[in-house]
Amino acid sequence: MEKKKTRILVLIDVQKDFIDGALSNPDAQAAVPAIVRKVEAFDGDLVLATRDTHGPDYLSTREGLQLPVAHCIAGTPGHALDSRVQAALDRLRPGVQLKVVDKPTFGSLDLVAQLQAIPGELDVEICGFCTDICVVSNALLLKAALYDRADFCVDAACCAGVTPEKHAAALETMRSCQIAVR
Protein backbone atom coordinates (compact mmCIF):
# COMPACT_ATOMS: atom_id res chain seq x y z
CA MET A 1 0.00 0.00 0.00
CA GLU A 2 1.39 3.39 -1.00
CA LYS A 3 1.88 5.85 1.84
CA LYS A 4 0.00 9.12 1.65
CA LYS A 5 2.15 12.09 0.72
CA THR A 6 1.86 15.28 2.72
CA ARG A 7 0.46 17.91 0.36
CA ILE A 8 1.86 21.40 0.75
CA LEU A 9 1.09 24.66 -1.00
CA VAL A 10 3.89 27.24 -0.81
CA LEU A 11 2.95 30.85 -1.49
CA ILE A 12 6.04 32.93 -2.12
CA ASP A 13 5.78 36.64 -1.28
CA VAL A 14 2.18 37.24 -2.35
CA GLN A 15 2.50 40.67 -0.78
CA LYS A 16 1.05 44.06 -1.54
CA ASP A 17 4.38 45.62 -2.51
CA PHE A 18 4.90 43.05 -5.30
CA ILE A 19 1.35 43.42 -6.61
CA ASP A 20 0.30 47.05 -6.43
CA GLY A 21 2.83 48.66 -4.11
CA ALA A 22 6.46 49.74 -4.36
CA LEU A 23 7.33 47.07 -6.97
CA SER A 24 3.91 47.07 -8.65
CA ASN A 25 3.55 44.53 -11.44
CA PRO A 26 0.52 44.12 -13.75
CA ASP A 27 1.36 40.42 -14.29
CA ALA A 28 1.30 39.87 -10.53
CA GLN A 29 -2.01 41.74 -10.33
CA ALA A 30 -3.40 39.43 -13.00
CA ALA A 31 -2.18 36.30 -11.16
CA VAL A 32 -3.82 37.10 -7.82
CA PRO A 33 -7.33 35.80 -8.69
CA ALA A 34 -5.83 32.44 -9.74
CA ILE A 35 -3.85 32.27 -6.49
CA VAL A 36 -7.01 33.01 -4.51
CA ARG A 37 -8.87 30.20 -6.34
CA LYS A 38 -5.96 27.83 -5.68
CA VAL A 39 -5.99 28.63 -1.94
CA GLU A 40 -9.77 28.29 -1.77
CA ALA A 41 -9.67 24.89 -3.49
CA PHE A 42 -6.64 23.55 -1.59
CA ASP A 43 -7.53 20.37 0.27
CA GLY A 44 -4.03 19.33 1.30
CA ASP A 45 -2.29 19.45 4.62
CA LEU A 46 -0.31 22.68 4.92
CA VAL A 47 -0.03 26.13 3.38
CA LEU A 48 3.28 27.88 3.90
CA ALA A 49 3.24 31.57 3.02
CA THR A 50 6.50 33.49 2.90
CA ARG A 51 6.81 37.22 3.34
CA ASP A 52 9.78 39.12 1.99
CA THR A 53 10.77 41.04 5.12
CA HIS A 54 13.13 43.99 5.39
CA GLY A 55 14.00 46.56 8.04
CA PRO A 56 14.01 50.32 7.76
CA ASP A 57 17.71 50.14 6.82
CA TYR A 58 16.92 48.17 3.63
CA LEU A 59 18.42 50.74 1.24
CA SER A 60 21.82 50.37 2.94
CA THR A 61 21.84 46.55 2.79
CA ARG A 62 23.59 44.55 0.08
CA GLU A 63 20.26 43.78 -1.54
CA GLY A 64 19.07 47.36 -1.19
CA LEU A 65 22.19 48.69 -2.86
CA GLN A 66 21.41 46.46 -5.88
CA LEU A 67 17.65 47.08 -5.83
CA PRO A 68 17.24 50.60 -4.44
CA VAL A 69 13.48 50.45 -3.94
CA ALA A 70 12.31 50.22 -0.35
CA HIS A 71 9.78 47.40 -0.22
CA CYS A 72 8.26 44.88 2.18
CA ILE A 73 9.45 46.84 5.19
CA ALA A 74 8.15 45.03 8.29
CA GLY A 75 5.13 46.75 9.75
CA THR A 76 4.22 48.69 6.59
CA PRO A 77 1.12 48.04 4.47
CA GLY A 78 3.34 46.76 1.62
CA HIS A 79 4.71 43.96 3.84
CA ALA A 80 1.26 42.43 4.32
CA LEU A 81 -0.02 39.54 2.26
CA ASP A 82 -2.46 40.65 -0.41
CA SER A 83 -5.83 41.21 1.28
CA ARG A 84 -7.68 38.87 -1.13
CA VAL A 85 -5.14 36.10 -0.53
CA GLN A 86 -5.23 36.72 3.22
CA ALA A 87 -9.03 36.45 3.18
CA ALA A 88 -8.77 33.10 1.37
CA LEU A 89 -6.16 31.92 3.89
CA ASP A 90 -8.50 32.92 6.71
CA ARG A 91 -11.09 30.54 5.20
CA LEU A 92 -8.86 27.47 4.73
CA ARG A 93 -10.65 24.16 4.93
CA PRO A 94 -10.74 22.48 8.34
CA GLY A 95 -7.57 20.51 8.97
CA VAL A 96 -5.37 22.61 6.67
CA GLN A 97 -2.59 24.26 8.65
CA LEU A 98 -1.19 27.69 7.82
CA LYS A 99 2.31 28.86 8.66
CA VAL A 100 3.81 32.23 7.71
CA VAL A 101 7.58 32.45 7.26
CA ASP A 102 9.27 35.84 7.17
CA LYS A 103 12.41 35.77 5.04
CA PRO A 104 15.13 38.40 4.86
CA THR A 105 16.37 37.48 1.40
CA PHE A 106 15.41 35.71 -1.82
CA GLY A 107 15.69 32.10 -0.65
CA SER A 108 14.58 31.04 2.81
CA LEU A 109 16.51 28.52 4.87
CA ASP A 110 13.66 28.75 7.41
CA LEU A 111 11.24 27.59 4.71
CA VAL A 112 13.58 24.69 3.92
CA ALA A 113 13.72 23.77 7.63
CA GLN A 114 9.91 23.83 7.88
CA LEU A 115 9.62 21.27 5.07
CA GLN A 116 12.56 19.17 6.25
CA ALA A 117 10.82 18.78 9.63
CA ILE A 118 7.82 17.07 8.01
CA PRO A 119 8.31 13.30 7.95
CA GLY A 120 7.70 11.13 4.91
CA GLU A 121 7.04 11.90 1.26
CA LEU A 122 5.95 15.38 0.23
CA ASP A 123 4.00 16.78 -2.70
CA VAL A 124 4.83 20.49 -2.93
CA GLU A 125 3.23 23.09 -5.19
CA ILE A 126 4.81 26.54 -5.40
CA CYS A 127 3.46 29.84 -6.67
CA GLY A 128 4.02 33.55 -6.06
CA PHE A 129 6.30 36.45 -6.87
CA CYS A 130 8.72 37.12 -8.43
CA THR A 131 9.20 33.99 -10.53
CA ASP A 132 12.73 34.97 -11.53
CA ILE A 133 13.93 35.95 -8.06
CA CYS A 134 12.25 34.51 -4.98
CA VAL A 135 10.16 31.73 -6.54
CA VAL A 136 13.08 30.16 -8.41
CA SER A 137 15.43 30.67 -5.43
CA ASN A 138 13.11 28.86 -3.03
CA ALA A 139 12.13 26.15 -5.51
CA LEU A 140 15.79 25.27 -6.11
CA LEU A 141 16.67 25.37 -2.39
CA LEU A 142 13.73 23.09 -1.58
CA LYS A 143 14.52 20.73 -4.46
CA ALA A 144 18.14 20.45 -3.32
CA ALA A 145 17.22 19.87 0.33
CA LEU A 146 14.40 17.39 -0.30
CA TYR A 147 15.52 15.79 -3.58
CA ASP A 148 14.93 12.25 -2.37
CA ARG A 149 11.48 12.58 -0.84
CA ALA A 150 9.50 15.36 -2.47
CA ASP A 151 7.83 16.06 -5.78
CA PHE A 152 7.70 19.70 -6.81
CA CYS A 153 5.63 21.68 -9.24
CA VAL A 154 5.17 25.35 -10.01
CA ASP A 155 1.93 26.76 -11.35
CA ALA A 156 3.03 29.26 -14.02
CA ALA A 157 -0.39 30.96 -14.04
CA CYS A 158 0.00 31.70 -10.33
CA CYS A 159 3.40 33.36 -10.69
CA ALA A 160 4.75 36.54 -12.24
CA GLY A 161 8.26 37.63 -12.99
CA VAL A 162 9.83 41.05 -13.15
CA THR A 163 9.20 40.81 -16.92
CA PRO A 164 7.42 38.17 -19.01
CA GLU A 165 10.80 37.15 -20.46
CA LYS A 166 12.38 36.68 -17.03
CA HIS A 167 9.29 34.75 -15.90
CA ALA A 168 9.69 32.36 -18.86
CA ALA A 169 13.43 31.99 -18.25
CA ALA A 170 12.89 31.14 -14.58
CA LEU A 171 10.24 28.55 -15.49
CA GLU A 172 12.70 26.97 -17.93
CA THR A 173 15.40 26.90 -15.25
CA MET A 174 13.04 25.08 -12.89
CA ARG A 175 12.08 22.58 -15.62
CA SER A 176 15.79 21.93 -16.19
CA CYS A 177 16.11 21.10 -12.48
CA GLN A 178 13.25 18.57 -12.58
CA ILE A 179 10.60 20.80 -11.09
CA ALA A 180 7.35 20.32 -12.97
CA VAL A 181 5.81 23.45 -14.43
CA ARG A 182 2.09 23.58 -15.13
- CATH of residue 166's domain is 3.40.50.850
Prior bond of 158 cis (ω within 30°):
no
66 located within any domain: yes
Task: Report the distance separating Cα 158 and Cα 149, nearest Å.
Answer: 24
Give CA separation, 7 vs 43, 133, 151, in Å.
8, 24, 10
How much is the pTM?
0.96
Q: Rounded to the nearest 10 degrees, what angle do helices 109-116 and 136-145 cross at?
A: 40
Q: How many domains does the chain have?
A: 1
157 located within any domain: yes
123 located within any domain: yes
Residue range 28-71, pLDDT digits in tens: 999 999 999 999 999 999 999 999 999 999 999 999 999 999 99
Model pLDDT, residue 3: 78
Domain encompassing residue 136: 6-181
Measured in whole angstroms, the distance separating CA 52 from the mean position of its chain's CA atoms is 9
1 located within any domain: no
